[in-house]
Structure 1
Amino acid sequence: MKNLFFASLILFAFSTIAEAQQLKSPEGKFVMEFSLQNDGTPTYNLKYKNKEVIKTSKLGLELKDDKKSLLNDFTVVDSKTSTFDETWKPVWGEVDKIRNHYNELAVTLNQKGTERQIVIRFRLFDDGLGFRYEFPTQKNLTYFVIKEERSQFAMAGDHTAFWIPGDYDTQEYDYTKSKLSEIRGLSQKAYTANVSQKNFSPTGVQTALMMKTNDGLYINLHEAALINYSCMHLNLDDKSMTFTSWLTPDAKGDKGYMQAPSHSPWRTVMVSDDAREILASKMTYNLNDPSKIENTSWIKPVKYIGVWWEMITGKSSWSYTNDFPTVQLGVSDFSKAKPNGTHGANNANVKKYIDFAAANGFDAVLVEGWNEGWEDWFGHSKDYVFDFVTPYPDFDVKGLHEYAKSKGVKIIMHHETSGSVRNYERHMDAAYKFMNDNGYDAVKSGYVGDILPRGENHYNQWIVNHYQYAIEKAADYKIMVNAHEAVRPTGIARTYPNLIGNESARGTEYQAFGGSKPNHVTVLPFTRLIGGPMDYTPGIFEMDISKMNPDNKSHVNSTIANQLALYVTMYSPLQMAADTPENYNRFPDAFQFIKDVAVDWSESKYIEAEPGDFITVARKAKGTNNWFVGNVNGETARTSNIDFSFLEKGKKYTATIYADAKDAHYKTNPQAYTIKKIAVTNKSKLSQLSVPGGGYAISIIETK
């Protein structure tokens, strides 16, 4: 009987291991193993420097209205390995060239009983793993509906995580730091109010999810190339510490309508024992297709100001009149309405911003609230909200365009959809043509509120396809897009580099809605920015919002030095100086850094980094020998120690250091800063204080 048991054990081990296939990263730091379990369930595991990162985890998809899902009963019918190595040049970015180097394993599986085939493709880079499901052309798998994707990520321990609650409609939450086992108990507190939200599980979280193990590994879970598919969340089994993918459903509860040939987005696992390498990784971009826009000469990084913060704080309004209890476009006659006296997008005010932009070297001015319909735009489940072409009586489209053009400044268009995607698509061609005709080459779009059609979510497949349609349609008109409240980016800006910005996280506006945690900006580069740049809208100098609007008692939880540093630490080719001209005029010496700092880079060096605590970055301005450094600090004061070895050997530079004063504090003394100039070379070193919620910014200009 004992011999029979051992024979069975050996047979079991052979049947499992016989299908096992190993893949190593180019430098050998990562080892991924694929295998089939006894019942034909696909699995994988991942190690980094011989440390277990992902324990054996199942793969597959559950189908709707199908007797047999794509979960088990598979056999391996083909397996191919390959190596890829290229260097490509981004249109804009943190660096001017990116290496795309990976080893690949593509496993073709056949399902017994259905004879359906899927391919699971793995790409192992020196910074992590990407895998996706592919559905080749075949007779037995044509159209199918996904009930749920069942990709697992079995963690090797109870890691520390930086997370926001799983939600189908918003990412605009502060991050919570906790052990994985504590998520359930903290989820209710982490789930704070928003204008549109739908939580699905007490252990559901969103990607990009940043974790740190007890032995010092940094792990990031996300996805890449989200196209024609639902956004992936993660749901934690807090007994086994295993995450399982959780897709965003549509109004019917379905999670994906598929037609072969097709494929899922990539599921990504980044790992390093150095937090700086997570920030520097370009794996997400590398898992996206090359640019489909052949001529990208019209895509330009932009530094801008805007008629925006004064509305966010409540000092002025988007709406033009208080006369109408309800607005119907084409019926409501705004020419006969009495102005409310608070409308921000009026000719005189916009000209003031244009003048300020021209005087200080800014490229553009964003103007919100210029078009009819803002009187009852939100909260009414209203389909026909805006037409995106009809201005209020006090906004002269052509006159302001000519005025801005005479000053060398452009105006950025604003399209708020109020979540009515059908209405936006109806008007999109006319709106983009209107932009072309009136000199606008960039648009900030918005999707505030519940999505229409009713019951759809911000992150399901149908709405994800809408966001993609808007980007591609904009490219036809040579328009750059900055989408707010859209799905968080997944590297698609490589394929469509006219997507120069997204919000899709808790931005600066929340500082006027009650505030954000002072360490928020030390987490975002490890999470939200993994998929692409964020229009975070930094540069606030007046932290007491009541001085803008006496009825608003909010406080910006940041020092001025921290706000300056964000232009370097929060990378974006689209950077806003978000405060008002009046507040910048009060601090002209600090404002000088915002005027000087670049928005496009040839090199980036991550000097120090610890999620939730601090980040220090140095970047070289493209086409120059000048560098800029930014440091943002969390809630504990610390001394930042950096050297300037990234500077060119033999060159001399003048460094202007904008730093927290010794008595500065994000809450009690946020506007206290110091400025000093020193001579530096690549042999120089610096120790610099960063106070709670503070930081420093440095411009390093080559001495001629």
Structure 2
Amino acid sequence: MKRLLSAFLLVACCVANAQQLASPDQNLELKFGLSPKGEPTYELSYKKKAVIKTSKLGLEVKGAPSFLDGFQIDKSEKSSFDETWSPVLGEQKNIRNHYNELLVTLSQKAVNGRYIRIRFRLFNDGLGFRYEFPEQKNLNHFVIKEEKTQFALAGDHKAFWLPGDYDTQEYSTVTSNLSEVRGKMKDAVTPNASQTTFSPTGLQTPLMMKSKDGLYINIHEASLINYSCMSLNLDDKNMILESWLTPDAIGDKGYLQAATQSPWRTIVVSDKAADILTSRLILNLNEPTKYKDVSWIKPVKYVGVWWEMITGKSTWAYNDLESVQLGITDYSKTKPNGKHAANTAHVKEYIDFASKHGFDAVLVEGWNEGWEDWFGKSKDYVFDFVTPYPDFDVQELHRYAASKNVKMMMHHETSGSVRNYERHMDKAYQFMVDNGYNSVKSGYVGDILPRGEFHYSQWMIDHYLYAITKAAEYKIMVNAHEAVRPTGLSRTYPNLIGNEAARGTEYESFGGNNADHTTILPFTRLMGGPMDYTPGIFQTKISAYNPENNSFVHTTLAKQLALYVTMYSPLQMAADLPETYNKFLDAFQFIKDVAVDWDDTYVIEAEPGDYITMARKAKGKNEWFVGGISDENARTANVTFDYLPKGKTYTATIYADGKDASYDKNPQSYAIRTIKVTSKTKLQQPIAPGGGFAISIK
């Protein structure tokens, strides 16, 4: 139940004195004030250590005076709030939302008394703040030229960063001091299907940093709605990060109408890395769910016809035509290429495998007409999302899957043609309902059409939310790939059960992800919401499926198991091929057993870029699962079990790297053993280079 703990009002007309606010545990302190020019500024400290030095706030607008200076404080209000809420799906059954708030009203006399509000919420784990534009006589429609929010850092921090880009997050994370960003940027920008970098010191959020005096700092945003995505531009001389919004096709960065507000700007901070991973600040800054009925939103464990196409073993396309036109090309009169994976007989094999091993769903990509020349042609009408290839019998597969108690998962690749997707959306979602699909994996590969729009512009942000809310009308869950990085909207719209928005497992077939990749993602990409990382690759040599591809998966087999615990998602794929899993059924047992929805989460040890060991309790069950992963270095994990109920003994099955295992030379070496554990047990578990371990506790 919500409880208003305290509230009081301070009237401070025309006074520029600082306002102060402390977190509920008193460890964080916020200071807000105005400069002599009437510029809003703030500072943030943690246990008396500077996190953010004096930093300016405000926005530039187009064709009108900006919200940057000339302000006076009309009013400031302080309040406290404390509630506990339960996510539909999540890492915890109950989440506490406890903060102290400062709401400051600022007016500009020179602009006929135009005013804005800046709302600060200070939690025990960090700060959120946003700009609010109330409805008023002298403010209606306005266009953002740039948001000028600053984050003045207290030093040259170690950072885990991606190049700032309007179109993709699919880069390898670079670990360096901030002062080294400029020199490393050129090598960091690797090719992608769609990319638009904007600055030699531009960085994406979530941005994870560690100060020299041991503070872990994460900067991101929450509740990104009707606004363009924020990146950061680094002033590397003064160590100041400044917000940098994604523009539209003509360079404008946002179209707003009062009453409205910006997304929350978030700063999560602690002197313990584990606290970053357990922070729920971003979720707490989103609104409660908009849906009255959420009974249709359920966690999903799935297999799919996907990895064989990613590796090059099979194709999405039905044939090798160089040109197709929907409604004109008659596929029944063309010769299939013999490698098309999404055919009825083959998909039935996946359905059989899913049914035998208790999986919820089967994803099929490449089932629909248009894949032959879909990419890079600037074609507005590529897919209609309802017309299957001749070898894919939708009705028969619906019947067969239903008879096996397995759901089919739809795939909608938009090819970046957003208007085309929207014009077909109702028909496509109804087609899903009619044929037994209750979840969809959508994709936005390539440059956005209409031309000039970017993946992270306000127009596209609106589209992604439209797709989610429209899907909800049909009781369909959404897993969006190549969409904007999540900002906690899964609280408000819980049918958003997955996102990509980072380099996933597919890149293991495109040259490989660095061995430290998955030790960083929970501190960066996963701060805003779950990721459909698609783990579970047991055959780590891609050449086993495609002799022309010499890439390999940069983890051990045991680490692939651990990812089901360390990479949170209520949507988890066993991504490898059934015939491979049949060779490793003892290890595959962990994937069958592991939960995907949780009552609680415990971080046992963590250091970004180096290692993570995490335990989770399965939703509604007396079962716990532990995952531990490392970077390219071997190490010994110190595993505790103090989260188990006291006085009880449990059986723990440990799936570990073999003694001779390593991610590059012997990735399939693993060992399985069973031990008894209690809440007092302490285990030292060796991890191979690029390796990991997984534990099932029952």
TM-score in terms of structure 1 length: 0.97
Q: Which residue of 1 aligns with 2:90?
A: 93
Q: How far does residue 16 in structure 1 lie from its aligned partner after superposition?
A: 11
Residue 516 of structure 2 corresponds to residue 519 of structure 1: yes
Map residues 171-320 of structure 1 onto 2, 5 A cutoff: 171-320=169-318
Map Cα deviations across residues 476-521 of structure 1 (whole Å, 9 max, x no partner).
1100000000000000000000000000000000000000100100
Structure 2: tracts of 5 or more residues without a match: 1-11
Aligned partner of 1:580 among 555, 577, 580: 577
Residue 452 of structure 2 corresponds to residue 472 of structure 1: no
Residue 103 of structure 2 corresponds to residue 119 of structure 1: no
Q: Percent identity?
A: 69
Q: Distance in 2 between matches of 1:206 and 1:295?
A: 35
Residue 74 of structure 2 corresponds to residue 64 of structure 1: no
CA contact (8 A) 1:16 1:37 kept: no
CA contact (8 A) 1:299 1:480 kept: yes
Q: Distance in 1 between matches of 2:583 and 2:337?
A: 29
Q: How far does residue 110 in structure 1 lie from its aligned partner after superposition?
A: 0.4
Q: Distance in 2 between matches of 1:566 and 1:254?
A: 40
User: Secondary structure of 1:401's partner?
Assistant: helix
CA contact (8 A) 2:41 2:57 kept: yes
Q: Distance in 1 between matches of 2:680 and 2:36?
A: 60
Q: How far does residue 78 in structure 1 lie from its aligned partner after superposition?
A: 1.2
User: Secondary structure of 1:46's partner?
Assistant: strand
Count of aligned pairs between the two proteins: 686
Q: How far does residue 661 in structure 1 lie from its aligned partner after superposition?
A: 1.0
User: Secondary structure of 1:400's partner?
Assistant: helix
Question: Which residue identity is paired with 1:319?
Answer: A
Q: Distance in 2 between matches of 1:203 and 1:75?
A: 33
User: Secondary structure of 2:129's partner?
Assistant: strand
Q: How far does residue 178 in structure 1 lie from its aligned partner after superposition?
A: 0.3
Q: Which residue of 1 aligns with 2:5?
A: none
User: Secondary structure of 2:190's partner?
Assistant: coil
Q: Which residue of 1 aligns with 2:53?
A: 55
Q: Distance in 2 between matches of 1:655 and 1:318?
A: 41
Q: Which residue of 2 aligns with 1:370?
A: 367
Residue 330 of structure 2 corresponds to residue 326 of structure 1: no
Residue 76 of structure 2 corresponds to residue 79 of structure 1: yes
Q: Distance in 1 between matches of 2:13 and 2:215?
A: 33
Question: Which residue identity is paired with 1:446?
Answer: G
Map Cα deviations across residues 457-478 of structure 1 (whole Å, 9 max, x no partner).
0000001100000000001110
CA contact (8 A) 2:558 2:692 kept: yes
CA contact (8 A) 2:14 2:73 kept: no
Question: Which residue identity is paired with 1:149?
Answer: E
Map Cα deviations across residues 293-319 of structure 1 (whole Å, 9 max, x no partner).
111000000000000000000000000
Map residues 107-146 of structure 1 onto 2, 5 A cutoff: 107-114=104-111, 115-146=113-144
User: Secondary structure of 2:604's partner?
Assistant: strand
Q: Distance in 1 between matches of 2:398 and 2:566?
A: 33
Map Cα deviations across residues 417-464 of structure 1 (whole Å, 9 max, x no partner).
000000000000000000111110000000000000001000000011
Map residues 520-539 of structure 1 onto 2, 5 A cutoff: 520-539=517-536
Q: How far does residue 18 in structure 1 lie from its aligned partner after superposition?
A: 4.1
Residue 545 of structure 2 corresponds to residue 548 of structure 1: yes
CA contact (8 A) 2:660 2:669 kept: yes
Q: Which residue of 1 aligns with 2:166?
A: 168
Q: How far does residue 225 in structure 1 lie from its aligned partner after superposition?
A: 0.1
CA contact (8 A) 1:370 1:392 kept: yes
CA contact (8 A) 1:520 1:612 kept: yes
Q: Which residue of 1 aligns with 2:505?
A: 508
Map Cα deviations across residues 619-661 of structure 1 (whole Å, 9 max, x no partner).
0111111100000101211110112111111222111000011
Residue 645 of structure 2 corresponds to residue 680 of structure 1: no
Question: Which residue identity is paired with 1:626?
Answer: E
Q: Which residue of 2 aligns with 1:11?
A: none
Q: Distance in 1 between matches of 2:100 and 2:396?
A: 57
Aligned partner of 2:558 among 553, 558, 561: 561
Residue 594 of structure 2 corresponds to residue 597 of structure 1: yes
Q: Distance in 1 between matches of 2:692 and 2:276?
A: 21
Map Cα deviations across residues 104-130 of structure 1 (whole Å, 9 max, x no partner).
111011012112110000000000000
Aligned partner of 2:396 among 399, 402, 410: 399
Map Cα deviations across residues 187-246 of structure 1 (whole Å, 9 max, x no partner).
111111101000000100000000001111000000000000000000000011000000
Q: Tell me which stretches of 4 or more aligned residues in structure 1 moved more than 2 Å.
A: 14-19
Question: Which residue identity is paired with 1:487?
Answer: V
Q: Distance in 1 between matches of 2:451 and 2:521?
A: 31
- RMSD over aligned CA atoms reads 1.1
Q: Which residue of 2 aligns with 1:457?
A: 454
Q: How far does residue 325 in structure 1 lie from its aligned partner after superposition?
A: 2.3
CA change 1:186–1:17 in 2 (3 A) is farther
Q: Which residue of 1 aligns with 2:6?
A: none
Residue 23 of structure 2 corresponds to residue 30 of structure 1: no
Q: Which residue of 2 aligns with 1:6?
A: none
User: Secondary structure of 2:675's partner?
Assistant: strand
Of the structure 1 ranges 16-25 and 627-636, higher mean CA displacement relative to structure 2 is found in 16-25
Map residues 336-351 of structure 1 onto 2, 5 A cutoff: 336-351=333-348
Q: Distance in 2 between matches of 1:608 and 1:248?
A: 36
Q: Distance in 2 between matches of 1:480 and 1:293?
A: 13
Question: Which residue identity is paired with 2:532?
Answer: D
TM-score in terms of structure 2 length: 0.98
Aligned partner of 1:436 among 425, 433, 436: 433
CA contact (8 A) 2:614 2:627 kept: yes
Q: Distance in 2 between matches of 1:691 and 1:681?
A: 26
Q: Distance in 2 between matches of 1:144 and 1:16?
A: 26
Aligned partner of 1:635 among 632, 645, 651: 632
Q: How far does residue 99 in structure 1 lie from its aligned partner after superposition?
A: 0.4
Aligned partner of 1:499 among 496, 499, 523: 496
Q: Distance in 1 between matches of 2:338 and 2:425?
A: 31
Map Cα deviations across residues 277-308 of structure 1 (whole Å, 9 max, x no partner).
00000000000000001110000000000000
CA contact (8 A) 2:631 2:690 kept: yes
Residue 687 of structure 2 corresponds to residue 690 of structure 1: yes
Residue 674 of structure 2 corresponds to residue 666 of structure 1: no
CA contact (8 A) 1:16 1:36 kept: no
Residue 632 of structure 2 corresponds to residue 621 of structure 1: no
Question: Which residue identity is paired with 1:349?
Answer: H
CA contact (8 A) 1:131 1:268 kept: yes
User: Secondary structure of 1:493's partner?
Assistant: coil
Q: Distance in 1 between matches of 2:660 and 2:164?
A: 39
Residue 349 of structure 2 corresponds to residue 352 of structure 1: yes
Q: How far does residue 553 in structure 1 lie from its aligned partner after superposition?
A: 1.0
Q: Distance in 2 between matches of 1:329 and 1:385?
A: 7
Q: Distance in 2 between matches of 1:472 and 1:25?
A: 35
Q: Distance in 2 between matches of 1:320 and 1:375?
A: 7
CA contact (8 A) 1:16 1:38 kept: no
Q: Distance in 2 between matches of 1:17 and 1:652?
A: 63
Q: Which residue of 1 aligns with 2:422?
A: 425
Q: Distance in 2 between matches of 1:128 and 1:500?
A: 25
Q: How far does residue 15 in structure 1 lie from its aligned partner after superposition?
A: 12
Q: How far does residue 673 in structure 1 lie from its aligned partner after superposition?
A: 0.6
User: Secondary structure of 1:131's partner?
Assistant: strand
CA contact (8 A) 2:13 2:72 kept: no
Q: Distance in 1 between matches of 2:227 and 2:689?
A: 41
User: Secondary structure of 1:492's partner?
Assistant: coil
